[in-house]
A and B are shown apart, each in its own frame.
Chain A
Amino acid sequence: MKDSRLFKRFIIGGVLGWMTLFGAIPTFLLVGVSFLSRHPDNLVEPTFSLTSYMRLLEPELGAMVLHSLFLAATATLLCLLIGYPFAYISARAIKRYSRLMLLLVMIPFWTNSLIRTYAMVAVLKADGILSKTLLFLGIIDAPLKIMYTQTAIFIGLIYTLLPFMILPLYAAIEKIDGKLVEASRDLGASKWTTFRKITIPLSMPGIVSGCMLVFLPALGMFYIPDILGGARTMLLGNYIRDQFLATRDLPMGAAASIAMTLIMGCMLVLYYRSVRRSGRRARL
């Protein structure tokens, strides 16, 4: 019995210790650093300052933050629009096909995302396969100029993050009780009404978690805008990286990441609410 208590203490202590050391402490340190000021040699100076946060609100940086939010939100919306029908079709397919369809979505995802981003370059280049095919088909008459534009960033983000949208959507749609859909149809609702009033609300947790899984990484994936967007587009992720590795302004980089964490916090609250709401609805 004594041994058991020791084992229990060991496990709880170990896991909690681990979480504190690599979860809580780094977060507190980051918050701490964001309130310090920059020192040219030692990276940070132990004097309290709000400069970094004030700078985040300046028009230039503020515009950058808003632009990143806009880009990530648009990419998320596009992923949802592309991913939902796909998740719906695969969740409603015969079991065997449905598994296979998902597996086929997962396979590219097992290759390093940087390698895949780099593979995208070969497709989007002016003399790349897309441009050549469209030229050949006569759809366009000049080589495409997608590379190093915002469109390329969108394509790259969607390409990398689409599976993160499809998987939770699939899980949510698959769970929906078919009887509810039947009942709605029996009661005279059209296909579209059934979809709007039954399927969409019941898959809400999937929609919200898919959107989170796309939106949050989209904000931080600095290498996609770097490779596909060229150096001109500065986004939150690129900005944070540069503050840490190039400019060496740690407090500024920390403040920008705290801003990103706050965005995540808001989304978690949203998620929690949507899960609770749909849980209540399911009980009704």
Chain B
Amino acid sequence: MKLLKSAYVGLVYLFLYLPLVVMAVYSFNASKYSLSWKGFTLKWYGKLLSNTTLLDAAVRSMTIAVVSATVACLIGTLGAFMLHQYRFKGRRAVFGGVFVMMMSPDIVIAISLLVLFLGAGFTLGFWTLLMGHVTLCVPFVIATVYSRFRGFDRSVVEAARDLGASEYQVFRKVVIPMAMPGLMAGWLLSFTLSLDDVIISFFTTGPTYEVLPLRIYSMVRLGIKPDVNALSVVMIGITVVAVILSRRLLKEKR
């Protein structure tokens, strides 16, 4: 039974990791087309360095992920604070709205935003992409930060109020520091959501601001490119390091 269990868990991991490993191996293979090993090479990484369109797209993806995660955190934290602290008409409706936005298929969010942007006469590019990604992330930030707020002792906020803190001071000096781990988790989640997103980017950005997945999408259609493998390996490396670092940081904070 125990052996069966381990075998099963191993198979699941094999399934999840095999494609990534194969891609990494490809990126060091001298042969361009087949899987057969033609010797170790770094030439695809060299080629990657000279492929400016690919690198530019990667930088744009990172930029949009950082900016949209930050903006989404700002709006999401205010939203979670509002839902936790204030009682107002339509509060339940807001809860429902957040949940529906979280569950909506990406493609539906994407095209409804596209219709909005077309209707408003916006040119698709950085700003529309940013709005798209922020829309994708905010509900997740609200959910993450709200669940952190729920673990709070309400009386701390009340004490601050009683001691004469203004609402802004309560927010700035009490709520934000207490919610920090939730905020950071929300930021990281948004960052990954944004980096991972293909569908919303596909509809909300234009030729002036091509992000990595779209660049890769059009490249892959023309056949496999080994420098894409190389870039993917670099990206995997960066995300793994970033995640491990952030986990360390979060742990020390606690």
Query: CB within 8 Å of B: which residues of A?
Result: 3-5, 7-8, 11-12, 14-16, 18-19, 22-27, 29-30, 33, 43, 82, 85-86, 89, 101, 104-105, 107-116, 118-123, 125, 127-129, 132, 159, 162, 212, 216-217, 219-223, 227, 237, 240-241, 244-245, 250, 253-254, 257, 260-261, 264, 267-268
Contacts and interface: CB of A to CB of B under 8 A. Distances in A.
A29 B88 contact: no
A128 B112 contact: no
B195 interface: yes
Contacts of A89: 5, 8-9
B106 to A, nearest CB: 6
Nearest to B33: A127
B78 A115 contact: no
B213 A112 contact: yes
B220 A227 contact: yes
13 contacts: A3-B168, A12-B82, A25-B116, A30-B115, A107-B243, A122-B19, A162-B15, A220-B199, A237-B199, A241-B202, A260-B108, A261-B108, A268-B100
B107 A260 contact: yes
Interface stretch (B45-53, B148-156, B234-242): B234-242
A257 B111 contact: yes
A116 B105 contact: no
Contact of A116 (B20, B134, B135): B20
A95 B243 CA distance: 20
Given A15-B82, A212-B103, A237-B107, 13 more contacts: A15-B75, A22-B135, A23-B101, A24-B97, A29-B115, A108-B20, A116-B20, A118-B220, A121-B224, A162-B12, A217-B106, A220-B105, A240-B111
Which of B35, B90, B134 gathers most chain A CB within 10 Å?
Answer: B35
A244 B75 contact: no
A129 B22 CA distance: 8
Given A24-B97, A217-B105, A220-B106, A8 B16 contact: no
A254 B111 contact: yes
B108 A220 contact: yes
A122 B22 contact: yes
Lowest 8 CB-CB distances: which A-B pairs, in order? Answer: A220-B107, A26-B112, A4-B167, A119-B19, A7-B167, A220-B105, A119-B23, A30-B112
Contacts of A219: 105, 107
B199 A222 contact: yes
Contacts of B178: none
Interface in B186-226: 192, 195-196, 198-199, 202-203, 212-213, 216-217, 220, 224
B216 A129 contact: no
B126 interface: no
B185 to A, nearest CB: 13
A119 B113 contact: no
B147 to A, nearest CB: 12
A254 to B, nearest CB: 7
A111 B167 contact: no
Contacts of B192: 109-110
A260 B20 CA distance: 32
B13 A104 contact: yes
Given A4-B167, A43-B118, A241-B107, A115 B112 contact: no
Contacts of A11: 78, 81-82, 86
A12 B15 CA distance: 46
Nearest to A130: B18
Contacts of A121: 220, 224
Contacts of B22: 119, 122-123, 128-129
Contacts of B213: 112, 114-115
Nearest to B115: A29
A45 to B, nearest CB: 14
Nearest to B136: A22
Contacts of A116: 19-20
A91 to B, nearest CB: 13
B157 interface: no
Contacts of A4: 166-168
A48 B163 CA distance: 60
Given A19-B97, A212-B103, A112 B196 contact: yes
B75 A111 contact: no
A222 B201 CA distance: 13
B112 A257 contact: yes
B79 interface: yes
B119 A23 contact: no
